[in-house]
Amino acid sequence: MWTWKNCLVFALLFWIPFITASSHGQAGGLDKKIEARLQFEVALQALAGGDRNMAAAAFRGLAASAADGAPERQVYEALVDRAEGRVATSEAAVMGILAETSLDDFSHPWVCDELVRWGAEIRLAEMKDRAAADLEAVLARHYEARGGLERLRSLDDLVATGRMLTADHEIPFRLCRKRPRFYRLDLATAGGSRITACDGQAAWQFDPTNDSGKTEFLFGAQRENLLSQSWFDDVLVRYLSTGESVFLAAIENLDGTDAYRIEVENLDGSRLSIFLYTENLMEAKRLIWTDPMDPPVEITYEYGDVDGLQMPVRQTITTPTETVKFLFDDYKLQQPIDPRFFDVASVKTVGE
């Protein structure tokens, strides 16, 4: 189906040679270089717009008009291959031209510019492919260090108890999690159990010291933060199925020990950096940016064996205003939890 874009491209391809011929010998007429550049730009637009047949025909015409052995001709022929779907052939040709040809040999600088841009695009794609392969290898070792990917994915329920340490208090806690996104944290405060929970959709909290004595649903940033915590699987385990962007960025030194830095962009646009020690592939810390204008939240970890899995036994969370430590005293794995326990009605029904 022809669109106005097709018509414009066809008109330009048809009229450029005609205008050039009719203006031959006239002051200000288009010379061959200008004609070639316009045809080249139109052909690129056709390729970008998906008009591959038209682009291939245009690049083939440019190649035919170029001198034998000219680097421009080689680039045009590579573009014909690209337009006709021979991507690997075209990319190999581009890298060969860049390796064997001096950029000073080009008489048409715009063709040279496209070659350099295209070559950079190919190199970037190759770098991403290598980085993805490196990330896969690093994560495979990380899963093995944690106890195995299949074992991690086989867990459905988890209950952890311990103590939360603040600057002034030691508060017993119980953390309950259930696949895929059920989360509940109970803090045993002096006035009763303070609850923060999420079922993957609704996020809520209950504070026994609240004058209203009622549960409150969370909205906005509070809800989004709790939703991001509610995933049973960590982002390094789930990202291939849930769509977060994850890549291996660098190796950095953490207090004298090397660590892989893995960058993550979450689905909500927030990002985090995860550091895995290069020696044992266990997580050292992560930095979480919820607002680009604010300093990140830092979380550090210490691990211990729980039924053959490496689980956090100590977690330190540092924000710009405070530091909170979680000491995990006991884990219960694979003891089924009623999903209603994560519902807001649980405070009065199946809750404590």
- CATH code for the domain of 113: 1.25.40
Given this model, what pLDDT does residue 190 score?
Answer: 83
Q: Is residue 163 part of a domain?
A: yes
Q: Is residue 76 part of a domain?
A: yes
Q: How far apart are CA 299 and CA 275, in angstroms?
A: 10
Given this model, what pLDDT does residue 131 score?
Answer: 67
Same domain, 61 and 163: no
Residues with Cβ within 8 Å of 335's Cβ and at least 6 positions away in sequence, in order, are 157, 159
Same domain, 190 and 324: yes
**Residue 172 belongs to domain spanning:** 154-347
Question: What are the tens digits of pLDDT across the range 88-133?
Answer: 899 899 989 989 988 889 988 889 999 899 988 888 777 766 766 7
Q: Number of structural domains, the chain?
A: 2
Residue 258, phi then psi, degrees to nearest 5: -75, 145
Q: Is residue 237 part of a domain?
A: yes
Q: Is residue 146 part of a domain?
A: no
Q: Of 106, 126, 146, at which residue does a domain stop?
A: 126
Q: Is residue 209 part of a domain?
A: yes
Same domain, 183 and 302: yes
Given this model, what pLDDT does residue 25 score?
Answer: 47
Domain of 161, CATH number, reads 2.50.20.10
Same domain, 167 and 242: yes
Q: Is residue 20 part of a domain?
A: yes
Q: Which two tokens stand for residue 250?
A: 């660098």
Task: Give 31's Cβ-side CA count (13 Å radius).
Answer: 4
Same domain, 71 and 163: no
Same domain, 216 and 312: yes
Q: What is the pTM of this model?
A: 0.65
Q: Which residues of the chain fall below pLDDT 50?
A: 1-2, 4-29, 349-352
Given this model, what pLDDT does residue 249 score?
Answer: 87
Given this model, what pLDDT does residue 350 score?
Answer: 36
- Find out whether 261 and 251 touch, Cβ atoms under 8 Å: yes
Question: What are the tens digits of pLDDT across the range 143-190?
Answer: 999 999 999 999 999 999 999 999 889 999 999 999 999 999 999 988
Same domain, 235 and 290: yes
Same domain, 122 and 176: no
Same domain, 113 and 158: no
Same domain, 222 and 316: yes
Given this model, what pLDDT does residue 20 score?
Answer: 43
Q: Is residue 135 part of a domain?
A: no
Given this model, what pLDDT does residue 17 score?
Answer: 44
Find the largest Cα–Cα distance for the chain: 96
Same domain, 96 and 219: no
Same domain, 49 and 192: no
Q: Of 126, 146, 167, at which residue does a domain stop?
A: 126
Q: Is residue 144 part of a domain?
A: no
